[in-house]
Chain A
Amino acid sequence: MNGVIKRYRVMAYAAGVMSLLLWFVELPVVYLLDNPELADKVKWIPFVHGYVYAFYVLAAIHFTARARFTIKRMILFILAGTLPVASFLAERKVMREFPLQ
């Protein structure tokens, strides 16, 4: 179980960081600033976020299934990767309920 939790934690951090970058860096640069050069520099963020989230979903399903969570909790864990900070909160919750041995 430790390996599953570790994988989930890593992906929760990665998805959280990418969500923060997407919401607070890439989207404002592209939609609020008229600066094509800067927009070009941050264009890697949305697609890295996309793939990281896909792996986060797999890690979340694996972890919640092994932890025998309800379907509702599993869905909430999957959705936590879409909002900034939510995956960090989910990861904290996991660490409280399943401290590593």
Chain B
Amino acid sequence: MKKISVGLLILALCGSFIRLGFWQLDRAAELKELQRPYIEQPMVALTDITQPATNLSDSAINRIVTFSGRYVSQTDAPGQKDKAGTIGTWLVGAFEVNGSGTILVVRSSKNSEMPKGEVTVIGRLLVRQFEDRVAKSDGSLSRLDPSLWVGMSDLPIFDGYVVATSETLNGRKIELPRVAIDPARPSVPGYYWQHISYVVIWWLMALVVVFLPFYGRKRRNDTKGAS
């Protein structure tokens, strides 16, 4: 009975260590994949890849989207960092997409009047921010998260937000300094060769677990032989 228990324990430990090794191997592969340059995909209509009141799918994140409708209000989002690392206050609008829902749109890094009329926006769709950039205060957004904007619109709300690269009001382009950002990249902590070293360690541990019972038996036999 004891031998069976020990055998099962060894199997469980060995299996766990091998699995952990594969997990680190997957992380190393994922990290390598992330280091590849982002390949831009063709522009799509916003409602073709996401709908209001649903979570953004992975495939929708970073897509260049276009949609038309009107701005219903706008506010500031301070403490936002652009591609160059410059921290500033961004102008954010609540945008009602025709026949659909409301989405947050980062309009500019400078203040500007809210356009009145039919606007067509082109921009990059990004996943909502989860950490506050500044302390919460009335009249501004502490992070780009549609759930923070209470009473933004009566329509259902789209997940995520769009960083506008161009806006057209009644067919005329709105000239504004746009926010430059990199496509969002999921982050895997650590470095490629670090994960590979952990693969080596976990699999070495699996070998150690297999080796220990043989070592224990040899040690007992040696002790018996000596006495």
Show the binding face of A for B, using Cβ within 8 Å: 30, 43, 46-47, 49-51, 53-54, 57-58, 61, 65, 68, 70-71, 74-75, 78
Contacts and interface: CB of A to CB of B under 8 A. Distances in A.
Given A51-B197, A54-B197, A46 B212 contact: no
A34 to B, nearest CB: 10
Contacts, number: 46
Interface in B68-87: none
B216 A51 contact: no
Contacts of A49: 197
A71 B209 CA distance: 10
Contact of B191 (A43, A57, A61): A43
Contacts of A46: 190-191, 194, 197
Contacts of A71: 212, 215-216, 219
B104 to A, nearest CB: 25
Given A43-B191, A68-B222, A74 B215 contact: yes
A78 B193 contact: no
Nearest to A31: B189
B208 interface: yes
B25 interface: no
- Interface residues of B, dominant DSSP: helix
Interface of B: 189-191, 193-194, 196-198, 200-201, 204-205, 208, 211-212, 215-216, 219, 222
27 contacts: A46-B190, A46-B191, A46-B194, A46-B197, A47-B191, A47-B193, A47-B196, A50-B196, A50-B197, A50-B200, A50-B201, A53-B197, A53-B201, A54-B197, A54-B200, A57-B201, A57-B204, A57-B205, A57-B208, A58-B204, A61-B211, A65-B215, A68-B219, A68-B222, A70-B219, A74-B212, A75-B212
Contacts of A75: 212
Contacts of B193: 47, 50
Chain A, interface SS category: helix
A68 B201 CA distance: 23
Contacts of B196: 47, 50
A47 B194 CA distance: 4
Contact of A54 (B194, B204, B212, B215): B204
Contacts of B205: 57
B197 A47 contact: yes
A50 B194 contact: yes
A66 to B, nearest CB: 11
A43 B195 CA distance: 12
A65 B219 CA distance: 9
A78 B211 CA distance: 13
A74 B201 CA distance: 16
Contacts of B208: 57, 61, 78
Nearest to B223: A68
A86 to B, nearest CB: 16
A77 to B, nearest CB: 11
Nearest to B85: A36
